[in-house]
């Protein structure tokens, strides 16, 4: 007996077709999608189906919809920050699974962070440096949640400073991933002092546009984290 094929809802099919046109480049950023009545006739679906498909694409940051005489639905201009949101859910699920641990996270960070430090040193702007300075913390007065948030913000700013949106796309969900509760509560007392010192040194090397020194600091920074988080005491 042959099982019946379950077809996706009509709005999902339409959204898939439009998504394929956008991701393939057949529809370019800023280009206007056909008006809703035209899509209804072309696809043979109701207006409510078209609107549901457009709402889905808008929630995925693929289109933007405006009202008024000149309004309509337009292909969104790619934004690494918004697109990274789509990766965050899957990334978080993986990092909290039994098959992915701190060693895996550090392996990915090493592949991304070391070359990013070198590129950022060459390409950073004053705006990037200001964002990095704003993400520094003080381990003498800041609590753990504040330092974790600042740590994440610093590294997101670092990949942004590469000027390569693909680094930012991958880096954002990576640096938003949380450490295990037991791990961060059981780190040695001087751990965050060292992280703070590394961040400040890296910022100075980016300001000096010293790519060699910046990549070296990034390597030592990750070596320290790997050593500290792999010890039996959790430090």
**What range defines the domain where residue 168 resides?**
80-230
Tokens of 70: 């000149």
The token pair at 75 is: 């292909």
**Sign of the dihedral through C-alpha 48, 53, 58, 62:** negative
- Dist CA 117 CA 132 (whole Å): 12
Of 26, 46, 75, which residue constitutes the final position of a domain? 75
The token duo for 223 is 């070596």
Whether 1 maps to a domain, the answer reads no
For residues 99 and 199, state if they share a domain. Answer: yes
Same domain, 48 and 162: no
Number of domains the chain is built from: 2
pLDDT digits (tens, 9 = 90+) for 61-120: 889 988 877 788 999 887 766 666 666 666 767 666 667 777 888 898 999 999 999 999
List, for residues 122-179, the tens digit of each pLDDT value: 999 999 999 999 999 999 999 988 998 899 899 999 999 999 988 988 888 888 755 5
pTM over 0.85: no
Q: Identify whether residues 91 and 194 lie together within a single domain.
A: yes
CA dihedral angle for residue 56, residue 57, residue 59, residue 62, rounded to 10 degrees: 170
Q: Report pLDDT for 177.
A: 59
Please state the separation of Cα 147 from the chain's center in Å.
Answer: 19
């Amino acid at each position: 007996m042959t099982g019946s094929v379950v077809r996706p809802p009509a709005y999902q099919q339409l959204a898939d077709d439009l998504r394929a046109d956008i991701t393939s480049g057949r529809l370019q950023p800023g280009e206007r999608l056909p008006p809703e009545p035209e899509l209804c006739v072309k696809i043979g679906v109701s207006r409510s189906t078209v609107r549901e498909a457009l709402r889905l694409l808008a929630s995925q940051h693929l289109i933007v919809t405006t009202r008024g005489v000149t309004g309509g639905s337009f292909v969104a201009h790619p934004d690494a920050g918004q697109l990274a949101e789509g990766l965050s859910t899957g990334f978080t699920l993986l990092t909290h699974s039994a098959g992915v641990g701190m060693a895996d996270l550090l392996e990915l960070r090493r592949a991304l962070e070391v070359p990013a430090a070198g590129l950022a040193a060459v390409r950073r702007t004053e705006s990037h440096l200001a964002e990095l300075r704003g993400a520094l913390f003080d381990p003498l007065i800041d609590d753990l949640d504040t330092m974790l948030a600042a740590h994440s913000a610093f590294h997101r700013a670092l990949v942004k400073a590469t000027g390569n949106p693909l680094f930012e796309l991958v880096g954002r969900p990576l640096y938003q991933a949380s450490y295990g509760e037991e791990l961060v509560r059981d780190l040695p007392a001087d751990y965050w002092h060292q992280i703070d010192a590394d961040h400040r040194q890296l910022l100075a090397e980016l300001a000096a546009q010293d790519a060699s020194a910046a990549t070296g600091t990034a390597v030592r920074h990750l070596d320290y984290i790997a050593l500290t988080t792999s010890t039996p005491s959790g430090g």
